[in-house]
Amino acid sequence: MTSHSATPDVAQIPDDPDEIIAAVLSGQGQSDPYAYYDKLRQTAPFHRSILPGTPYFLTRYEDVDAMFRSELIGHGEDQPLLRANPRFERSVALQDIAGSMAEMDPPQHTRLRSLVNRVFTPKTVAGMSGYITELTDQVLADLDGKDEFDIVPAISYRIPSSVTSEMLGVPRGDHKLFSEWIHTTAGIFGPGLTEAELIKIDDAVGKFQDYLRELIVERKKNLREGDFLSELIQASVDGGKLDEMELIHMCTLLLGAGTETTETLIAMGMTSLLENPDQKVRLSEDPSLAPFAIEEFLRHNGPALQARTRIALDDVTLPGGTIPKGTPIIGVIAAANHDPEVFTDPQTLDIGRSPNPHLGFGGGIHMCLGARLSRHEGAYVINTLLERFPEMRLAGEPEWSTGGGGGVRAIESVPVNVAGVDGR
């Protein structure tokens, strides 16, 4: 058995490639975008859309993988796609994105990634294990005595944001404040962003940056042994260190990368297990499968639908064809991760799947910075939930967000019953 919740009738999915894309971008296909993108991959795997900028949509695994790895595809020295936004010059949120290494090409990206890689190591992630255990126990203790709750607000919204805040040395009393800022700023990538919404996001980003600026100043005066932010401040490559604004951009990137993906991974992973009881039993009986299960959750029903839009820095030839210089390119991760040329029975959830070369965290030089932490945290939380609540089952239909603009698939509600009573 497998499910992506309310799977649409295939006959209702448009035949025209641009209508398929529009359906997902508008939110119509959020209940099961995989069915829409499967049809796009089958009918037009290397498609130049009529959307503004006439981007290419790539849906075959080999094309999306090649896009991630190509040196001729990037964001452009002047970040033309981002800076084309008429609100860029007056939006602190859009400017914060521009300052992120996720929007940069070499050599700027190489320098910044080298610096953070010296600090964000397996040892750093392992050092968070104690806090992840402590926090998970605390969050689950708050659920004692409840027969029903919602995984999203009760668990997935509480744990990842607090873990990344703790990693950066934010006082625990301010973790909730950081969580509110993180969730507000995530709306910057939503479709049809209104002026009022952007003003709210800009306000949150401004306060976020002011807080980080004060935290950085304080930490420079009182460096701490083994403290992530202290090490980030001191990290250097060829004698060069991060300046204050680079530190702020790096902190906001780490907070986003370590929070939003993990929140969705936990909620979607549990949803996938509850919709596939045989796999839930399998993982409950053998918790050592958790690392494989996490990879399968990322492939089968992961947070990333599409990669951030890139452009061809020169004429570039991929397995599916040639893309002219200056043309926007969108790699559809959801379609690539369900490509039957690479994955046997791609619609089936198999928590022991191996090998599993999914692209859920992207690839190439822009591989998700928070991937290691997300994997570790997600595996621990999901295993602990299964151990604590062995009778857990869905108490209603999960609710999907339509605010990701096609790039991400967020989940807003996963109601569950833990008393062995089917609430549906």
List pLDDT tens digits, range 7-63: 656 668 999 999 999 888 777 776 788 999 999 999 999 999 998 889 999 999 999
CB–CB of 306/68 below 8 Å?
Answer: no
Mean pLDDT confidence for 329-350: 97
Is 422 a residue whose pLDDT tops 70? no
- Cα-atom radius of gyration of the chain, to the nearest Å? 21
- Crossing angle between the packed helical segments 277-285 and 371-388, to the nearest 10 degrees: 90
- How far apart (Å, rounded) are the C-alpha atoms in residues 174 and 218? 16
Q: In this predicted structure, what is the pLDDT of residue 212? A: 96
Mean pLDDT confidence for 63-92: 95
Q: In this predicted structure, what is the pLDDT of residue 370? A: 87
How many distinct helices (H) and strands (E) make up the chain? 18, 12
Q: How confident is the model at residue 260 (pLDDT cuts 50, 70, 90)?
A: confident
- How far apart (Å, rounded) are the C-alpha atoms in residues 411 and 419? 23
Is 94 a residue whose pLDDT tops 50? yes
Q: In this predicted structure, what is the pLDDT of residue 1? A: 47
Mean pLDDT confidence for 72-87: 93
Is 423 a residue whose pLDDT tops 50? no
Structural domains for the chain? 10-417 (1.10.630.10)
Q: In this predicted structure, what is the pLDDT of residue 258? A: 77
Which two three-digit tokens encode residue 13?
């999915």
DSSP 354-406: -S----TT--GGG--TTHHHHHHHHHHHHHHHHHH-TT-EESS--EE-S-STT
Is 355 a residue whose pLDDT tops 80? yes
Mean model confidence pLDDT for the chain? 91
Name the range with the highest mean pLDDT among 52-66, 172-186, 217-231.
52-66
Q: In this predicted structure, what is the pLDDT of residue 6? A: 53
